[in-house]
Amino acid sequence: MDKKVLVIGSGGREHAIVKSLLKSPKVKKVYCAPGNAGIAQDAECVDISPTDIESLVNFAQRHSIDLTIVGPEASLEAGISDALKSVGLKVFGPSKAAAQIESSKEFAKKLMEKYKIPTAGYKSFDNFDEAWEYVKSNPLPTVIKYDGLAAGKGVVVAFTEKEAEDALRDMLLDLSFGKGKVVIEEFLAGQEFSFMCFVNGDKVYPLELAQDHKRAFDNDQGPNTGGMGAYSPVPFISDKMKERALNEIMKPTAKGLLDEGVPFCGVLYGGLILTDEGPKVIEFNARFGDPETEVVLPRLESDIYDFFTAVLDQKDYIPEWSRDAVLGIVLASKGYPGNYEKGEIIKGLERLGGEVYHMGTSKDGDDIKINGGRVLMVTGRGDDLAQANLNALKEISLIECPALFYRKDIGKVALNR
């Protein structure tokens, strides 16, 4: 039919949302602001920053956009959802107030405490000496989190006092992420999984599960990143356990936000961990996960435009999912999540047959170049994860770019079960 959709953002997540929307016969045109070199092959990219709220609203009005899907947290925090709604436009993404579930760890922790949602014990500090005293008088390992947006990088799991001290110094004295607080958390042990739900008020629509790989290098070594690979489904979380996470975590959180007067509309992302006591929350995000979206949305068989519409109208909707497994491996710039070079040409992309999502690329004439830390997400699909893994690796072998690296063990935990 004739629907026009605007997707905000420029990563692999937005590329996957764009591709999913294009499968809908209801969608006539997809715009992406600002998009990237890969997204430009599928949608019309518009050069507007995700935080330039005024220009985005003007664009949406001028082009009579039927629905806007918001990718990045920065855009939500800048109030894109409130601004679009105030001029009568439909948007899938929470208000600035509800997005605090991600933008403020203290807000999230207080909400979980009040509504008895299982999570790690914590304490919040803005003073280095007090934080350091607290660390010294509590068991290790301990988890130190910068309380604000740090693109998944403001978290240190400290196994020694030295690591903890360095992290506190970095965050509270050297102000590496800006002036702010830290949250010090109890360490939880278990397998992590990502549970994204579409939410509108107290209506919660669960998606299929995925597992992300946050550490930079194989065997979960190296620093935390935005995510180096993911797969879906997650075989070690049974349907019963998923139901428990839905009823004990995702539904009460949506209801809690509603009761607090900050109803949530968009994707509520639960970063969960399966402990001996059951599933607990590591973090919430107020948006689609990246790279989880690139392995979950390709398994959606229902029309995503219908799904979004049902959620916005708070109608019942049960989506259909493919039984296929999808596994994706991130190709990142050497040096990421630290310093890295941009501009290297990526060769061989035209040889790939499967789905590739661009995370940080730019176009220069006919060349596709590196333009970010996480550059490409190459996915494989198959009857099971082993097949999906082989297919993804086969695709990667066709890409030539010495400036890129990737983890070779994505999905290993699930494959070895």
Binding site for ligand GLY (CB under 6 A): 152, 212, 227, 285, 289-290, 292
Query: Which residues lie below 8 Å from residue 300, measured CB to CB, with a gap of 6+?
Result: 20, 207, 208, 307, 319, 320, 321, 322
Q: How near is the Cβ of 221 to ligand GLY at its closest, in Å?
A: 18
CB of 282 to ligand AMP, least distance (A): 5
Minimum distance of ligand GLY from residue 366's CB (angstroms): 32
Instruction: Check binding of 224 to ligand AMP (CB under 6 A).
Output: yes
Provide the minimum distance between the beta carbon of 152 and ligand GLY in the complex, in angstroms, as a whole number: 5
Residue 225 interface partner, choices ligand AMP, ligand GLY, none, CB cut-off 5-8 Å depending on type: none
The single residue among 60, 188, 199, 237 that binds ligand AMP, judged by CB under 6 A, is 188
End-to-end CA distance of the chain: 45
Distance between CA atoms of residues 394 and 381, nearest Å: 11
Give Cβ neighbours of residue 62 (< 8 Å, ≥ 6 apart).
none
Q: Residue 339: which residues within 8 A CB-CB, separation 6 or more? A: none
Decide the pairing of beta strands 3-9 and 67-70: parallel
Q: Which does 192 bind (CB under 5 to 8 A by kind): ligand GLY, ligand AMP, none?
A: ligand AMP
Long-range contacts of 312-316 (CB under 8 A, 24+ apart): 312/67, 312/90, 312/92, 312/200, 312/265, 314/200, 314/201, 314/203
Q: Which does 289 bind (CB under 5 to 8 A by kind): ligand AMP, ligand GLY, none?
A: ligand GLY
Using rule CB under 6 A, residue 274 touches ligand AMP: no
CB of 227 to ligand GLY, least distance (A): 4
Minimum CB separation of residue 250 from ligand AMP in Å reads 16
Give yes or no for a contact between 32 and 4, defined as CB atoms under 8 angstroms apart.
Answer: no
CB contact at 8 A, 182 and 171: yes
Distance CA 378, CA 358 (A): 9
Given the DSSP bridges, would you call strands 325-333 and 229-232 parallel, antiparallel or unpaired?
antiparallel
What does 185 bind: ligand GLY, ligand AMP, none (CB cut-off 5 to 8 Å by kind)?
ligand AMP
* Residue 213 CA neighbour count, 13 Å, CB half: 28
Judged by beta carbon, residue 215 or residue 408, the one nearer ligand AMP is 215
Here the tokens at position 303 are 């029309």
Instruction: State which residue, 227 or 266, has the beta carbon closest to ligand GLY.
Output: 227
The smaller minimum CB distance to ligand AMP, of residues 213 and 251, is found at: 213
For residues 288 and 306, give the distance between their C-alpha atoms in angstroms, rounded to a whole number.
Answer: 18
Specify the residue, 142 or 225, whose C-beta has the smaller distance to ligand GLY. 225
Q: Which residue has the closest beta carbon to ligand AMP?
A: 283
| Residue 214 contacts ligand AMP per CB under 6 A | yes
CB of 61 closer than 8 Å to CB of 87: yes
Q: Is 292 in the site for ligand AMP (CB under 6 A)?
A: no
74 interacts with ligand AMP by CB under 6 A: no
CA distance readout (Å), 189 to 186, 214, 400: 10, 15, 38
Minimum CB distance to ligand GLY smaller for 185 or for 290: 290
CB of 271 to ligand AMP, least distance (A): 5
Does residue number 185 form part of the binding site for ligand AMP (CB under 6 A)? yes
Cβ at position 123, least distance to ligand AMP in Å: 12
Give bridge partners of residue 196 from the DSSP assignment.
Answer: 269
For ligand AMP, the binding residues (CB under 6 A) are 120, 143, 145, 152, 155, 157, 185, 187-188, 192, 214, 224, 271, 282-283
